[in-house]
Chain A
Amino acid sequence: MEAGMVTPAPALVRFSGIQKTYDGEHLVVKNLDLDIRKGEFVTLLGPSGSGKTTTLMMLAGFEVPTHGEIYLGGRPIKNMPPHKRDIGMVFQNYALFPHLTIAENIAFPLSVRKTSKAEAQERVKSALRMIKMEGLAHRRPGQLSGGQQQRVALARALVFNPQLVLMDEPLGALDKRLREQMQLEIKQLHEKMGITVVYVTHDQSEALTMSDRIAVFNDGVVQQIDRPDALYEHPVNSFVAHFIGENNVLAGTVETVDKDYCRVALAGGGTVTARAVNVSGAGASTSLSVRPERIAIVPGGTASDGPNRLPAKVRNAIYLGDHALAVLDVAGNGEFMVKLQPGAHHELTPGESVFITFRPEDCLALDPV
């Protein structure tokens, strides 16, 4: 290799042209190509039935791809049985072995690898220390709370230093507060140990919190793979814009396109300037996407002031603790939401006519829904 030449780190996991069907008629996963680098935390995010879990199961070896190949560390693993893949997995319902103690559960992957007793004991001990459960080594899984069981499942999947760790909605069964705490713990573990994680969830806030990159699945196709902030700020289509975070949708028709921006005539009246992200050209119908926190409410003025100024009617103002939400009627959309400072909701009365305004760069013209 020549000095100074930078080669991209080779992918640890590579999905190449993967297709999967269960019934021979419908593809659950349609032509998936995905690279996961070493040390990355990648989340497969999508609604149920989008193919994300099937993708994970193919990687773990519990499902066989109908077409295509999966590479792990450069080796094809399509026909490799799961126990030879050296992949740790955390299951949705933990799947801790009920007849073994916590210590025995964690020692299981070591004992099937014929690790020496002394070393296994040492590693189980440090794994228990990592999850702060040294005192519970001799309990059975049934005697632990959900969060504790989840930690044990995590320790068990990590204790044999697998080259890859898979997590299948591991926090789905926990309550909200515990879930958020565990998200941070898993994230810290990932950073501390430098492990590669593939994480499946349908919870977008979980994905945003934890991931280096998120692959948004829908209908068997990866819609977009990107960093969390890029997904939020620059969704490539309406599905991603709608699935990640809160989103207001306004239907309209493109009038003119000028480089990155376009003029859109709204179906409910009025025209706005929007960033042309996913429009085919003048005359095409489009869905505009505006985030609730990028909109300002102005009490007076006329519709002609500024580029994006629309008349609105207040339907409701809701206090939500750390912020408030105004629900407006804008251009035929009766559930148009605007995020306000807490307390600002007092200034709005239902039925009041106001104007809303937002910057053109915060309004995305996407494919019609």
Chain B
Amino acid sequence: MTNALLTGADASTEVPLKRRLRRAERARQVKALALVAPLLVFLLFTFAGPIAGMLWRSVDDREVRQVLPQTVAALADWDGKDLPDEKAFAALASDVLAARAAGTIAIAAKRLNYALNGFRTILTSTARNLKVAPEPGTAKETLGKINPAWRERATWTTIKDAGGPVTGFYLLAALDLTRNADGAIVAAAPDQAIYRGLFARTFVISLSVTLLCLILGFPVAYLLATLPPGRSNLLMIFVLLPFWTSLLVRTCAWIVLLQSKGVVNDSLHWLGIIDEPLRLIYNRFGVCVAMTHVLLPFMILPLYSSMKAISPAYMRAAASLGAPPLTAFLRIYLPQTLPGVGAGSLLVFILALGYYITPALVGGAADQMISYFIALYTTETANWGLASALGAVLLLATLLLALVYGKLVQGQQVTGGMKN
């Protein structure tokens, strides 16, 4: 009797117990969500939204479709082997007339000119010379007379490719690739292939800055972690000082220091070490120095926190077990700082990848990084598609790096990194 009662009670409470737990947890979850909600909304609008927009713009291709809708429709069935048929020519003539009336020719011309240099002229001259719609059946001949380019297959392929609504054109361009007249992906013409070199330069500068930060930051972090609290706090203030100064001010300070009549050159000249001023700025050297200075705290802080967690007992233990100081450092201390080294390096590297102001101010023409070109295409030439594509490639590279680092750190944590 009591047994039956007990098992009955067990069976009936098992599900409600889970539900009760969920209900109890729900209040906590709602509260937690309410606390982060403002930030979440803010990030959605200022971070996730723009990034999604940028990614979309890198493949969005509706300009030609909007300006030349009939042509795009007529070319949909074209196999691209010969010139399109009369229908397509008639559609183009009709589109051009309508676009001229609406004043939208320039929009399509700009987009088509990205893909085929000189397309702007083809389209504007056609618009200018095509007064009335050609008689039915003569569109091909009329257009061919206005501009012989209409007799070429490549002209039509360009329109078909740009017909959208989405395209890989910008992304391919960002990687120095393009599609030839047959639609195959090929390397871009050498005079247009600049982005791979730019990405390589961006990575090389970021890597150099990361290495410089690591070399300069490691001993400082070690000192910070081992000094008595009073002195280490003072030193920490010096490390954090750059954070309290504007990035622009710090970069300009480097200009003052490093320019040919700057403090450094004048001092060296006065000391008689040099006769001619050294070229310290508007070159790679200046970029690396200024960026390293700006990014150093981002290296020191993660290093410091990982070193602070290493008990001095480990080094004592290593010494008592017979390890000379250098061996103990290399085999016991250094491996335990690796999570900090990884975090700091990744932070500095990723921040450096996106650097814009510092290279723009203290770098020469050959030291501009990818961000400079993204800004250029966004603000100067309004080529949003290419700017977005470059941004997307950069974002992808950064995400890949973060992923790799995440894997490394995870491995570290599963197999060790625990404190005792």
22 cross-chain CB contacts under 8 A: A60-B320, A81-B325, A83-B318, A83-B321, A85-B320, A86-B322, A88-B320, A89-B320, A91-B316, A94-B420, A95-B317, A96-B317, A97-B314, A98-B418, A98-B419, A99-B335, A99-B412, A140-B415, A140-B418, A141-B418, A141-B420, A157-B320
Q: Which residues of B contact A62 (CB under 8 A)?
A: 316, 319
Q: Is A316 an interface residue (CB 8 A)?
A: no
Interface residue range, chain A: 35 or more
Q: Which of A2-10, A106-114, A307-315, A330-338 contacts B (4 or more CB under 8 A)?
A: A106-114
Q: Is A163 an interface residue (CB 8 A)?
A: no
Residues 128-181 (chain A) with a chain B CB within 8 angstroms = 140-143, 149, 156-157, 160, 166
Residues 305-338 (chain B) with a chain A CB within 8 angstroms = 311, 313-314, 316-325, 327-328, 331-332, 335-336
Known: A83-B325, A93-B420, A140-B418. 13 other contacts (CB 8 A): A60-B316, A83-B328, A87-B320, A89-B316, A94-B420, A95-B311, A96-B420, A98-B420, A109-B321, A140-B415, A141-B418, A149-B420, A157-B321
**Cα of A99 to Cα of B416 in the assembled complex, Å:** 5
**Cα of A141 to Cα of B418 in the assembled complex, Å:** 8
Q: Which residues of B contact A156 (CB under 8 A)?
A: 321
Chain B min CB distance to A63 (Å): 11
Q: Is A61 an interface residue (CB 8 A)?
A: yes
Contact B319 A82 (CB under 8 A): yes
A93-129, CB under 8 A of B: which get 1 and which 0? 1111111100000001100110000000000000000
Q: Which residues of A contact B412 (CB under 8 A)?
A: 99
Contact B324 A83 (CB under 8 A): yes
Chain B min CB distance to A148 (Å): 11
The 9 closest A-B pairs by CB, nearest first: A142-B418, A95-B317, A89-B320, A109-B321, A95-B313, A82-B319, A99-B416, A112-B323, A140-B416
**Cα of A62 to Cα of B315 in the assembled complex, Å:** 11
Q: Is B417 an interface residue (CB 8 A)?
A: yes
Contact B323 A81 (CB under 8 A): no
Q: Which residues of A contact B420 (CB under 8 A)?
A: 93-94, 96, 98, 141-142, 149
Q: Which residues of A contact B324 (CB under 8 A)?
A: 81, 83, 112
**Cα of A321 to Cα of B79 in the assembled complex, Å:** 100
**Cα of A203 to Cα of B317 in the assembled complex, Å:** 23
Q: Which residues of A contact B313 (CB under 8 A)?
A: 91-93, 95
Chain B min CB distance to A347 (Å): 46
**Cα of A95 to Cα of B415 in the assembled complex, Å:** 17
Q: Which residues of A contact B319 (CB under 8 A)?
A: 61-62, 81-83
Q: Which of B318, B320, B322, B336 is the one whose CB lies under 8 Å from A98?
A: B336
Residues 57-88 (chain A) with a chain B CB within 8 angstroms = 60-62, 81-88
For the complex, would chain B's binding face be called helix, strand, loop or mixed by DSSP majority? helix
Q: Which of A81, A98, A143, A160 is the one whose CB lies under 8 Å from B321?
A: A160
Contact A83 B320 (CB under 8 A): yes
In the complex, residue of chain B having the shortest beta-carbon distance to the beta carbon of A138: B415
B99-143, CB under 8 A of A: which get 1 and which 0? 000000000000000000000000000000000000000000000
**Cα of A61 to Cα of B321 in the assembled complex, Å:** 12
Contact B332 A97 (CB under 8 A): yes
In the complex, residue of chain A having the shortest beta-carbon distance to the beta carbon of B332: A97
Q: Which of A81, A84, A89, A149 is the one whose CB lies under 8 Å from B317?
A: A89
In the complex, residue of chain B having the shortest beta-carbon distance to the beta carbon of A140: B416
Q: Which residues of B contact A95 (CB under 8 A)?
A: 311, 313-314, 316-317
Chain B min CB distance to A8 (Å): 29
Q: Which residues of B contact A60 (CB under 8 A)?
A: 316, 320
Contact B317 A99 (CB under 8 A): no
**Cα of A157 to Cα of B417 in the assembled complex, Å:** 22
Chain B min CB distance to A83 (Å): 5
Q: Which residues of A contact B332 (CB under 8 A)?
A: 97
**Cα of A286 to Cα of B48 in the assembled complex, Å:** 83
B394-420, CB under 8 A of A: which get 1 and which 0? 000000000000000000100111111
Residues 260-281 (chain A) with a chain B CB within 8 angstroms = none
Q: Which residues of B contact A142 (CB under 8 A)?
A: 416-420
Contact B311 A99 (CB under 8 A): no
Contact A99 B322 (CB under 8 A): no
In the complex, residue of chain A having the shortest beta-carbon distance to the beta carbon of B317: A95
**Cα of A157 to Cα of B318 in the assembled complex, Å:** 10
In the complex, residue of chain A having the shortest beta-carbon distance to the beta carbon of B328: A83
Q: Which residues of B contact A143 (CB under 8 A)?
A: 418
**Cα of A166 to Cα of B319 in the assembled complex, Å:** 13
Interface centre among B316, B322, B323, B419 (most CB of A within 10 A): B322
Contact B322 A97 (CB under 8 A): no
Interface centre among A83, A84, A93, A149 (most CB of B within 10 A): A83
**Cα of A108 to Cα of B319 in the assembled complex, Å:** 11
